[in-house]
Structure 1
Amino acid sequence: MTATAQGLIDKIKPLPPQHLAEVEEFVDFLRTREDDQPLTQAAAKIAESNFAAKWSNDEDAAYDRI
């Protein structure tokens, strides 16, 4: 176990039960966000290629410079 992990455990241990539940929910949130990142990036890449023709046109060129 790393020193950072042990430090976190030492800080979490004395917390009351309701705060432990909050910490657990936050850790779950962070893990979910990390797991979803590749999916989000893939969706953005697909959207970019699908909308490239719509976004790259003379009418919208003025907005590109903003």
Structure 2
Amino acid sequence: MATAAERKPVPDTLIDKIAALPDGRVAEVEDFVDFLRQREAEAATAKALRAAAMMASEASFAAVWNSPEDDVYDSI
């Protein structure tokens, strides 16, 4: 997925379509955009939490992962 900096500007046609909607519908579009932005923010937070949990557990599992008994699995 392209980042905000990589995306092209919003086409004027989309802005024109939104502007042509009745006020109530424009508010719905705005609410939907806010919903999408919130969902993206929550996904980014969840991704960061998963990464932090992996990093935090890495030291705990190091003794298990680095045991001589499991060296055979390193070549798989």
TM range (shorter): 0.5 to 0.7
> How far does the alpha carbon of each residue in 1:1-53 deviate from its partner, in whole angstroms, 9 at most, with x for none?
x8x585079648748x7xx54x6544332210112233222110111111100
Letter of the structure 2 residue corresponding to residue 27 of structure 1: R
State the TM-score, normalizing by the size of structure 1.
0.57
How many Å separate the matches in 2 of 1:9 and 1:41? 39
Report what 2:69 is aligned to.
Answer: 59
Extract unaligned runs of 5+ from structure 1: none
What is the percentage of aligned positions where both structures have the same residue?
25
The verdict on how the C-alpha distance between 1:54 and 1:26 changes in structure 2, with shifts beyond 3 A counting, is same
Report what 2:58 is aligned to.
Answer: 48
Larger Rg: 2
State the TM-score, normalizing by the size of structure 2.
0.52
Which structure's residues are more often helix, by fraction?
A: 1
How many Å separate the matches in 2 of 1:31 and 1:63? 38
The CA RMSD over aligned residues, in Å, is 3.5
What is the aligned residue count?
62
Extract unaligned runs of 5+ from structure 2: 19-24
